[in-house]
Amino acid sequence: MTPDDVLAALMTRDPAEKCVAARALHAADSAPLAQAGGTPEEVIVPGRPDAPALVHPAKLSKRGLGKPEGRAALIHAIAHIEFNAINLGLDAAYRFRGMPEAFYVDWLRVAADESRHFELLNNRLADYGFAYGDFDAHNGLWETAVKTGHDVMIRMALVPRVLEARGLDVTPGMIEKLRQAGDTETVTIFEIILEEEVPHVEIGTRWFRYCAEPRGLDPDTTFTRLLDEYMNGGPPGPYNFPARREAKFSEDELDWLAARDASR
């Protein structure tokens, strides 16, 4: 396996084909990626289908979960996040050269897991009579990937530990609302995703600290500085502190998040 193989999967437009490719890469030997040199291509737009249309988050329509179409819209929104997360895992494995082999194993594992999550959600969407692409979506995840493509430490800090960690915060509430709506099938899928996203965020934590410490940077203060520099302090609470602890956020980081949220 070479970086070009990972790039080919990243640029694959068909979601089903991308899912198959992600799992095949995860099953392959990652050692050549750790030994690869060269300069990665700049990927401004990864492979994605023509639909969904990408709009500003403020333009996404709000639908209540009391109606089937509202639940389908939520499932579609999470499916879109998972599709983007496949690309994020592949991009990390392709873009950042000279990391230990375990780094590439981790991020191809993430891409493979996200492909399975996407398929679970897309199949559930079909139960509602919809398909991926039938609702509008936004491009925030990938936009952040582009902004952080120049530095593996910054990518590890802000994509898994902020954007993906946000799923740890909001998914329990979505599960409760879906349970109240009687959608036990989707609840089961969301519970699987929540459980498996914790180690994905932990992967980000581990590699962020791996990158920060040799630079003489304190990971905790560097994380909060990057939140302010790139994300206006990051998303507001409430935060899922138990899940974030499982994902190896430090107590100092959690205290800072709690204090910052209380002051907003």
The answer to the question of residue 243 being in a domain is yes
The answer to the question of residue 77 being in a domain is yes
pLDDT exceeds cutoff 90 at 152: yes
Q: Across the chain, what does the average pLDDT equal? A: 95
Domain count, the chain: 1
pLDDT tens per residue across span 170-184: 999 999 999 999 999
The answer to the question of residue 129 being in a domain is yes
Instruction: Give me the percent of the chain exceeding a pLDDT of 70.
Output: 100
pLDDT exceeds cutoff 80 at 264: no
Confidence of residue 242 (pLDDT cuts 50, 70, 90): very high
Average confidence (pLDDT) over 130-135 = 96
The predicted structure's pLDDT at residue 214: 96
The predicted structure's pLDDT at residue 119: 98
Q: Angle between the 3-10 and 68-95 helix axes, to the nearest 10 degrees?
A: 160
User: What string of H, E and C letters represents the secondary structure of the chain?
Assistant: CCHHHHHHHHCCCCHHHHHHHHHHHHHCCCHHHHHCCCCCCCCCCCCCCCCCCECCHHHCCCCCCCCHHHHHHHHHHHHHHHHHHHHHHHHHHHHCCCCCHHHHHHHHHHHHHHHHHHHHHHHHHHHCCCCCCCCCECCHHHHHHHHCCCCHHHHHHHHHHHHHHHHHHHHHHHHHHHHHCCCHHHHHHHHHHHHHHHHHHHHHHHHHHHHHHHHCCCHHHHHHHHHHHHHCCCCCCCCCHHHHHHCCCCHHHHHHHHHHHHHC
The predicted structure's pLDDT at residue 233: 82
Note the pTM of the prediction, 2 decimals.
0.96
The predicted structure's pLDDT at residue 61: 78
The answer to the question of residue 46 being in a domain is no
The predicted structure's pLDDT at residue 166: 95
**Within 13 Å of residue 212, how many CA atoms lie on the same side as its CB?**
20
The predicted structure's pLDDT at residue 261: 85
How many Cβ atoms from other residues are within 10 Å of residue 57's Cβ? 10
Structural domain including 139 reads 3-34+51-263
Q: Pick the residue with more confidence: 248 or 37? A: 248
Q: Pick the residue with more confidence: 61 or 115? A: 115
The answer to the question of residue 44 being in a domain is no
The predicted structure's pLDDT at residue 140: 87
d(CA 152, CA 211): 8
The answer to the question of residue 85 being in a domain is yes
Confidence of residue 80 (pLDDT cuts 50, 70, 90): very high
CA dihedral over 263, 167, 244, 23, signed as positive or negative = negative
Average confidence (pLDDT) over 39-51 = 95
Average confidence (pLDDT) over 183-210 = 98
The predicted structure's pLDDT at residue 255: 94
The predicted structure's pLDDT at residue 16: 98
How many Cβ atoms from other residues are within 10 Å of residue 42's Cβ? 9
The predicted structure's pLDDT at residue 184: 97
The predicted structure's pLDDT at residue 22: 98
Residues 6+ apart with CB under 8 A from 197: 164, 167, 168, 171
d(CA 147, CA 144): 5
The answer to the question of residue 41 being in a domain is no
The answer to the question of residue 39 being in a domain is no
Q: Look up residue 158 and give its two tokens.
A: 């802000």
Confidence of residue 239 (pLDDT cuts 50, 70, 90): very high
Q: What is the CATH number of the domain that holds 136?
A: 1.20.1260
pLDDT tens per residue across span 112-132: 999 999 999 999 999 999 999
The predicted structure's pLDDT at residue 100: 97
